[in-house]
Amino acid sequence: MNINLRVISVAIFAILAIISAFSIRQLKFSFDFEQFFPEGDEDLEFFREFIDEFESDDNFLMVAIRREEGVFEQDFLEQFHDFSIQTRSLPHVTESQSLTKFSYPVRTPFAITTVPAIHIDQPARYARDRERILNDERFVHNFISKDAKTLTVFLKTVNSIQLEPAEELMNALDSLIRRYDFEEYHYLGRPYFQKELVAMQKREVLVSAIISGLLVTLVMFFIFRRPWGIAVSLFSIGLGMLLFMGFLSISGRELNAMAALYPVLMIIVGTSDVIHIMSKYVDELRKGFRREKAIVTAIKEIGLATLLTSLTTAIGFASLLTSRIGPIRDFGINAAIGVIIAYLTVIFFTTAVISWFRADQIIKLGRGQAFWEKSMEWSYRFTRSYPRRIALGGLAVLVLSLWGIGRITTNYQIENNLPVGKKITEDFLFFEKNLAGFRPMEVAVYAKGEYQANDYAVVREMAKVEDYLRQDSAIQGIASLTAVYKSINQMMGNNNPEAYALPDDEARFERYRRMAEQVPELSVNVLLSKDEKKARITSRIADIGAENIEEMGARIDRWIAANTDTSIVEFKRTGTGLIIDKNSEYVRRSLLQGLGMAILIVSLLMALLFRNWKMLFISLAPNVFPLLLAGALLGFLGIELEAGISIVFAVIFGIAVDDTIHFLSKYKLARNKGLDVEESLHITFLETGKAIVLTTVILFFGFLVMLFSIHPPSVTIGLLISLTLFSALISDLALIPVLIRWMMKGEEVEVKKVEGKVEEAVL
């Protein structure tokens, strides 16, 4: 390599590194449940039209205050009431409601007045207030827990609140709540999720980068044992990651829930490229070639193979573009770009730098090299001696994997995506246990023909649906127009709890409807559309799993179709929870489509490289086993297949095929030099086997870094990829030689003995 080209190359990368270092401070992070909506889904379009009519179903923040001795104590109630009043002034809050602010309407001879639900300044009335409140379906699970030890403040926020205002709101809320002497408090809602999960993402990126860096440093020390070799390899890998992060920042791409994988991917992909190119360079120097000749040979032989591995890895990631879920697609395209950046860094920067060094400056030669040669020799002889055992073992793994795949489920829960040991998870579980949970479910109500959604006949049908929903303990916080008319009926019945029901006749209902329009406290604007043709039933569902909720929804739909008057009104389930749960339908479909497309493209690349259909089959077959094994592990370990986990298969295929390409590329080069099958396999094991094993070991431990994550899906992804990539190594070193010997047998025309060796003359 010309010395001027080397200097220019290093200078260009130095400039790019400086630009990236300054840009990286502007990296953007985001978390939004809407990101996980499956785009193009008809139910999503319906939901968007629905919230345009009403409002988003997740524009809330709930604050739960717990007192173990019970909430009916005057000092506590006074503090809580003051807190609930103060929350109205928090930034980006449009409404604040709590039990201490609620009043019952009371009819008097002169006018309608109200009485408080809790007489805070009259402790003698607490027992009666408590009994009444705990028997009121409007309050239990919404504003007070069933054991009367928790009160909540419900804050309505601006629609679709984004990260910056969410952080502003949460910081103001934290400052406010610290003024009070509450023994325990919990949060739940969109602003809280945004603030805490973005904080988790930042922590994950930093921790994974540090641990991966330490791991690679340790690996490079054991491989090279020379300061220059270690320094060049680490600087090359670090430079690739810096340039990638700089690209993300400059291009304005936001980091989402998958961001923790980027440092790990960039480090291990860069490490694989560095080891292959530096190992080949050292091998050429040991053969006696000059540095200029050695680096040119390394670039020609390993550079092409590494280009192919980078392309196949990028294609594997790019297969995620078939997903309907935004963060998955973003991860796919970002990871694909990262792989290409890592390759360009190694080819143009690493090769330029190492060409200035001798072999003994890069790596310590000695017994370590002899160990690798002995190990690869043993591996080669094993595949030659026991082909039948290897084939039977592969068949057994295939059958076992298919059995495990049949056990895969998609019954994932929100809890499984929350950080381990953090307050946000504790808060989420607190609400699930003591109050209505987070997952919203809406039922859209459409009046048909001449009917209005607030007509007596329609409201009666709504009441039927609500009564059915209340039979399921997993559904809480049910509310609709019916509550308004039930409340008025109760008021007209001297506030007798038993009078909380719809009026028996339409004339009385019409009178109540006129009253509701005159009393601001009974406003129905968030439950009824402006044209009064549409209404909503709101509720929240416990986090019982996507498949269980899907089954529940189908049961609800069947009941509604059979028990409501469809000539008057139409009901349709919708809501944030339902839309996100629909991901389970698309995960499998997009997974198969994406992998199918990736396999097709990689097959075309292999066909161009080897120009032989037999070699095409040999190159793809070993990479099917890791994919099947990953699916089997999901089934056997009881891990639900959800959006985040689905990227495992793209990562496995994209990376696993790398070692196959390196192995077969070396084999093809040997064959092109006139060597027979056995000699070509022998040389491939000795010269490429070490790099393949080393890169797989690095990949194995590199992805195990994800075990340090506090994000459960990241832990699962790391574990699955590590185990299956290790299986890919075994598949490459054991299965490929067996397939080559079996399928290439027809190319041999004679066998003869020369100087004690068996040579195959290939026509």
What own/partner pairs with CB < 8 Å and gap ≥ 24 does 209-217 have?
209/241, 209/263, 209/267, 211/705, 211/708, 212/263, 212/264, 212/267, 212/268, 212/702, 212/705, 213/238, 213/267, 215/698, 215/701, 215/702, 215/705, 216/267, 216/268, 216/271, 216/698, 216/702
Let me know if residue 25 belongs to a domain. Answer: no
Let me know if residue 1 belongs to a domain. Answer: no
379 lies in the same domain as 505: no
Q: What angle do CA 715, 719, 720 make, to 5 degrees?
A: 115
The answer for residues whose C-beta is within 8 angstroms of residue 497's C-beta and 6 or more apart is 132, 135, 136, 490
Domain count across the chain: 3
* Residue 162, phi-psi category: left (phi > 0), alpha (psi -120 to 50), beta (remainder): beta
* Residue where one domain finishes, among candidates 543, 558, 581: 581
Let me know if residue 255 belongs to a domain. Answer: yes
Choice among 238-247, 298-307, 610-619, 754-763 with the minimum mean pLDDT: 754-763
Tell me how far apart the alpha carbons of residues 718 and 633 are, in angstroms, rounded to a whole number. Answer: 13
CATH number of 81's domain: 3.30.310
570 lies in the same domain as 626: no
Tell me how far apart the alpha carbons of residues 319 and 597 are, in angstroms, rounded to a whole number. Answer: 7
Let me know if residue 411 belongs to a domain. Answer: no
Per residue in 11-31, pLDDT tens? 999 999 999 999 888 887 777
Q: Given a cut of 90, is residue 526 above it in pLDDT? A: no
The three-state secondary structure class of 254 is: strand
* Residue where one domain finishes, among candidates 524, 555, 581: 581
190 lies in the same domain as 236: no
180 lies in the same domain as 80: yes
251 lies in the same domain as 369: yes
Let me know if residue 206 belongs to a domain. Answer: no
Q: Provide the pLDDT confidence category of residue 521 given band limits of 50, 70 and 90.
A: very low
DSSP state of 711: S
CATH number of 687's domain: 1.20.1640.10
Instruction: Read off the pLDDT of each residue in 43-54 and give the average, rounded to a whole number.
Output: 80
576 lies in the same domain as 597: no
% of residues, the chain, pLDDT over 70: 91
Is 371:599 a contact under the CB 8 Å cutoff?
Answer: no
Tell me how far apart the alpha carbons of residues 694 and 700 are, in angstroms, rounded to a whole number. Answer: 10
Among 717, 756, 759, residue whose Cα is nearest residue 331? 717
574 lies in the same domain as 643: no
Mean pLDDT is highest, among 49-53, 522-526, 563-567, 628-632, for 563-567
Per residue in 537-590, pLDDT tens? 988 888 888 888 888 989 999 999 999 998 999 999 988 777 777 766 666 666
Let me know if residue 53 belongs to a domain. Answer: no
Q: Provide the pLDDT confidence category of residue 180 given band limits of 50, 70 and 90.
A: very high
Tally of CB atoms within 10 A around 356: 15
The answer for residues whose C-beta is within 8 angstroms of residue 134's C-beta and 6 or more apart is 140, 144, 146, 148
| Residue 268, domain extent | 225-405+583-762
Per residue in 239-283, pLDDT tens? 999 999 999 889 888 777 677 778 888 887 888 888 888 888 888
Is 624:656 a contact under the CB 8 Å cutoff?
Answer: no
682 lies in the same domain as 735: yes
646 lies in the same domain as 682: yes
Per residue in 703-719, pLDDT tens? 888 888 888 888 888 88
191 lies in the same domain as 229: no
pLDDT score at 349: 92
DSSP helix, strand, coil percent of the chain (3-state; round to 5): 65, 10, 25
Let me know if residue 724 belongs to a domain. Answer: yes
Tell me how far apart the alpha carbons of residues 361 and 228 are, in angstroms, rounded to a whole number. Answer: 6
* Residue where one domain finishes, among candidates 555, 581, 607: 581
* CA-CA-CA-CA dihedral for 348, 349, 353, 354, to nearest 10: -70
Q: Provide the pLDDT confidence category of residue 110 given band limits of 50, 70 and 90.
A: low
647 lies in the same domain as 680: yes
pLDDT score at 489: 86
The residue whose two tokens read 């086997």 is 689
Let me know if residue 489 belongs to a domain. Answer: yes
Per residue in 410-460, pLDDT tens? 777 888 888 888 999 999 999 999 998 788 888 999 999 899 998 999 999
DSSP state of 144: B
661 lies in the same domain as 615: yes
> Where is 573: in which H helix or E strand?
strand 569-574
pLDDT score at 182: 93
